[in-house]
Amino acid sequence: MKSYPIPMVPGPVHVPEYIRQAYLQDYGSADMEPEFLQLYNQTEKNLQTMMNTKNQVAIMTGEGMLALWSALKSCLVPGDRVLALATGMFGYGVGEMAKSLGAQVKTIGFAYNETLHNWPMIEKTIVEYNPKMITAIHCETPSGTLNPLQVLGELKNKHDVPLLYVDMVASLGGVLVETDAWNIDLALGGSQKVFSAPADMSFLSISQTAWNIIESIGYSGYDALLPFRTAQQDFYFPYTPHWHGVAAMHASSTALIKEGLTQVFSRHEQVSRFCRLQLQKIGYTLFSAEDAIPSPTVTAVNLPDSITWEQFDSALREQGLVVGGSYGPLKGKVFRLGHMGSQADMILMERALSVLAKVFHAL
């Protein structure tokens, strides 16, 4: 299988050598050795620091989608009301996931190139619909946008909505997240974006309110959250823990904290701003609306009219650059650059933009 020297896919991103080393070690039996529990606890503390939360963080074996499903299955029963706020594919998708579990789902939908706004309308819907859970996406990766969450958290608290569920898979680590201050009960993350690890780990912070609901429902299954409530205390995990994956998450989170989270956020912002400005200078147009908030971790770009996605992708790959296509209604119309984690690098971005300029001017 061919590899590419200029990786700009918006996840899974390039895995640095120091993270790969975590997978080359021989460990003991994770469900029996105190050394693993110590590593797990340290990793949880790192994630709490990055998420700005005092809530327990469950670290699970499985790609980020596992966290999305586990929170829904553990907290919802048929008939529960869910208000899904959607500005893109994942926002609408989470609503469909909740609906498949029997929840009554009301969706407030915005255009795919917008971010959450019209707060009076959102507040009015919260009051009238009285949901058990509100769902939102922080970074809509296919759209390259970042949704504001502070006002949403204030509305959730003001109107006593039990649960606020937020997908942070593509944003956490690359932008400030205030889980507790924003009243987020279920903050969901994954390993393959800013953490720059393989797509094999997911995690989520769980508020006390969420735990109370989880315990009352008692859902059991591979993706159940309930067993994690006492897993550390009892040193009894619901399945054989992925020692290599936890070690990789520990290495990544430790490195990000050591770099300084403020510096990490600045690095992502600088690279993303440079990316957007240079793309427009070349002649590309950005997908996100002018008044939308652009994500510091991924940029979505309109595909030029004179070329198909397959032709464009092939032309980039011939010069060593691989980017991401898009999904759903954006398929074949939008491409994306993932400047997150190890790929939030100015030199790498300059190389990518050089190829994009050559291909554009050859059209």
Work out whether strand 81-86 and strand 104-109 pair parallel, antiparallel, or are unpaired.
parallel
Confidence band for 52, pLDDT divided at 50, 70 and 90: very high
pLDDT at 341: 98
Mean per-residue pLDDT for 289-299? Answer: 98
CA gap 44, 55 in Å, rounded: 10
Angle between helices 34-51 and 243-259 (to 10 degrees): 40
Query: 257: exposed, middle or buried (C-beta count within 10 Å: 0-12, 13-18, 19+)?
Result: middle
pTM: 0.97
Percent of the chain topping pLDDT 90:
97
pLDDT at 32: 82
pLDDT at 30: 80
The answer to whether 86 and 92 have CB atoms below 8 angstroms apart is yes
Mean per-residue pLDDT for 79-88? Answer: 99
- Averaged pLDDT score across all residues of the chain: 98
Q: pLDDT, tens digit, for every residue of 88-136?
A: 999 999 999 999 999 999 999 999 999 999 999 999 999 999 999 999 9
Mean per-residue pLDDT for 337-359? Answer: 99
pLDDT at 363: 83
The answer to whether 218 and 229 have CB atoms below 8 angstroms apart is no
pLDDT at 31: 77
The structural domains of the chain, ordered by start, are 6-13+261-361 (3.90.1150.10), 17-258 (3.40.640.10)
Mean per-residue pLDDT for 187-214? Answer: 99
Q: pLDDT, tens digit, for every residue of 7-48?
A: 999 999 999 999 999 999 999 888 789 999 999 999 999 999
Q: pLDDT, tens digit, for every residue of 227-280?
A: 999 999 999 999 999 999 999 999 999 999 999 999 999 999 999 999 999 999
pLDDT at 238: 95
Work out whether strand 145-146 and strand 139-140 pair parallel, antiparallel, or are unpaired.
antiparallel
Residues with Cβ within 8 Å of 91's Cβ and at least 6 positions away in sequence, in order, are: 84, 85, 109, 135, 136, 137, 140
